[in-house]
Structure 1
Amino acid sequence: MNELGDMDVVDVAFHVADRAAELALSYFRARVTTTSKADGSPVTEADRAVERLVREELAELRPDDALLGEEYGQVGGSQRVWIVDPIAGTTFFGRRDPNWRVHLALAVDGVVELAVVTSPALGLRWWASRGGGAVETAWPPGSGHVRRLAVSTSSSLADAALEALSTIPIGSSPACFRAARTPLPLVELVRGEVDGVLAEGFAAWDHAPWILLVQEAGGRFTDAVGGAAYERGGGLYWVFSDDGVGRPGASVRR
C-alpha cells in the first residue's frame, strides 16, 4: 500500500463504503422501480442516489482525487481515481434478490490498490489492499467473522472446477465449463471453492475491485490480451487460481 501515501485512505474507503451500503440497503427494503437507460441496461433511483452520496463524501474527504462512476461518469484528472458501482447487480436489486453489491476501488496510476465490495443484504464484505491480502468480513462490522481469502491450490486442468457467468452462452464455452452455480462466482473463486471463472462484458466499475481481490487471494484476473487494466471494458475475462488451470483461457478469446 506504499503507493497510497497516507494510510488513512483505508479508513476513508470503509467510511464511504459503509455510508453507501446503508443507503442502498434502505432503498432495497423500501422497494424501488427499475427502469432502463438509453443503452437498455437497468437502473433504479437507488443507483443514482448511492453514487451521488459517494461523490459528495469523496469530494469532502478526498477533494484532489478523481472519481469514475457508472451513473455519472468521471470527474477530475488525478492519477488517483476512485471507481464506484453504486449497485452492482441492479437486476438482482430490482427483483428483491439479495445478491447485489456496492463496489468501491481506488486506482493509482492505473493500478488498483484498494478494493471494497459490500453485500449489504447478505451481510458480507470482501476487501483487499495491495500487498495486504484479501479478507471476507461481516457487514456491518462487529460480528467477529473474519476469513482470509485464498484461491484453490488446484494446478490441474483435469481436476479443475470451471464456471461461466450467465452472460455467456454455455454452448460458446469449452466443454469443461459449467454454468455458474451462484450469482457470485468470483466470491466462490476467492474462497477457493472453484478454480476458474469465465466472464464477459465487464465495465471498469464492475471488475476494478475484483482484479485486486483475486490477485491478493493468490489468483489471476486477465483479459483477452493477458492484461488486467481496469480501464479496459467489454470482451472476455478469464479469472483463475493457477497457471495450470489458466490454459483454457486461450481457447475462448475472441
Structure 2
Amino acid sequence: MPDYHDDLRLAHVLADSADAATMERFKALDLKVETKPDMTPVSEADKAAEELIRSQLARARPRDAVLGEEYGSEGSGPRRWIIDPIDGTKNYVRGVPVWATLIALMVQGEGGYQPVVGVVSAPALGRRWWAAQGSGAYTGRSLSSATRLRVSQVGKVSDASFAYSSLTGWEDQGRLDGFLDLSRDCWRTRAYGDFWPYMMVAEGSVDMCAEPELSLWDMAANAIVVQEAGGSFTSLDGVPGPGGANAAASNGLLHEDLLGYLNQRY
C-alpha cells in the first residue's frame, strides 16, 4: 500500500496556514460577504484561504490537480487535492465557531478517485482531525500529539445517536418521512451541522449522520476520516465513498439500517 505520510504532513501545513487566515478575520466587523449564484454566502476569508492553499500546493505539488469550492478545477492527473476553505460559511459569518477547513487528497485507482488523505481543521473550536489510507484516523494538536479515533459499537437504532445538518432538502427528495421515522426510533437526535457530525461518528460520540445535498469538497476529507476510524461512508444509495451528491456515515454496524430508513418511499 502506498505511503501517504508526506502528503498528510503537507495537508497539516496547509491547514495551519488556512487556520491563521480564517481566524484573523473571524468575527471581524468589516468582513466582506457576497452571495454566490446558488444563493449561498461566500466571505473574503473563504477566498483568501483557498488562494493560500492553492499557492502552497502549486509550489509543493505542482503536478497535482486541485478542486476547490471557490475557484473550481485546475489541472488533471491521477492525484487531485479537494479543498473546502470554510465548511460552514453561514456559521462563520454569524460568529458561530462551528466551521472548518477541509483538505483531502484523492488518488485515481481501479474504482475511480478515492480519498487517501484528509484533514479537518476547526480552529475556532480548537480541534483538528485527520487520516491517511491504511494509517488510521486521529485527533489532536499535532501529528506527534494525537489520539486515535474509533467509531462506536452501538448496534441498535433504538440505542443510537443520529446527527444531521438541517431538515432542508429531505422533503425535496421524498425522503422526509423516512428521516422523521429514524428520528423517532433512535435514542437521540441533534443538528450539529456541516463537518462536525462526521467527526463525531469517527470519535464514537455519535453513531450515524446523513445529509441529502452535498458536493465533493464537503465530503472527501470527512469520508477518509470516518473510514479510517472503522466506520462506513456512502451515498444515500449505498455507494461507498464521497462520489455521490449526498452522504450517509455510521459506525458500520448501523449502516444498513440508516440507509433503509432514508430510502423509504411513501
Mapping of residues 25-64 of structure 1, within 5 Å: 25-31=23-29, 32-64=31-63
Give the partner amino acid of 2:214.
Answer: F
Instruction: Indicate the SS of the match to 2:77.
Output: coil
Tell me, in whole angstroms, the C-alpha distance in 1 between the residues paired with 2:43 and 2:261.
37
- The answer as to 2:130 corresponding to 1:132 is no
1:71 deviation in Å? 0.4
Check conservation: 1:174, 1:252, Cα contact below 8 A: no
- The answer as to 2:168 corresponding to 1:162 is no
Runs of 4+ in 1 over 6 A off after TM superposition: none
After superposition, what is the alpha-carbon deviation per residue over 1:78-107, rounded to whole angstroms, capped at 9, x for unaligned? 110000000110001000111110010000
1:244 deviation in Å? 4.1
Tell me, in whole angstroms, the C-alpha distance in 2 between the residues paired with 1:59 and 1:204.
21
Mapping of residues 140-179 of structure 1, within 5 Å: 141=142, 146-168=146-168, 172=177, 173-177=179-183, 179=189
Aligned with residue 23 of structure 1, among 21, 33, 36: 21
Q: Which is further off, 61-70 or 8-17?
A: 8-17
After superposition, what is the alpha-carbon deviation per residue over 1:11-41, rounded to whole angstroms, capped at 9, x for unaligned? 2211111111111111215341322101101
Check conservation: 1:154, 1:242, Cα contact below 8 A: no
| Structure 2: segments with no counterpart, 5+ residues | none
Tell me, in whole angstroms, the C-alpha distance in 1 between the residues paired with 2:76 and 2:228.
27
What's the TM-score, normalizing by structure 2?
A: 0.85
1:151 deviation in Å? 0.7
1:123 deviation in Å? 1.2
| Structure 1: segments with no counterpart, 5+ residues | none
Which residue is 1:120 aligned to?
A: 123
Tell me, in whole angstroms, the C-alpha distance in 2 between the residues paired with 1:163 and 1:115.
21
Tell me, in whole angstroms, the C-alpha distance in 1 between the residues paired with 2:129 and 2:207.
18
Call closer, same or farther: CA 1:62–1:245 in 2, change over 3 Å: closer
Identity %: 34
Instruction: Indicate the SS of the match to 1:30.
Output: coil
- The answer as to 2:104 corresponding to 1:98 is no
Aligned with residue 239 of structure 2, among 227, 232, 237: 227
Q: Which is further off, 23-32 or 172-181?
A: 172-181
Number of residue pairs matched by the alignment: 247
Check conservation: 2:216, 2:242, Cα contact below 8 A: yes
Instruction: Indicate the SS of the match to 1:102.
Output: strand
The alignment yields a C-alpha RMSD, in angstroms, of: 2.2
Give the partner amino acid of 1:53.
Answer: L
Which residue is 1:243 aligned to?
A: 253
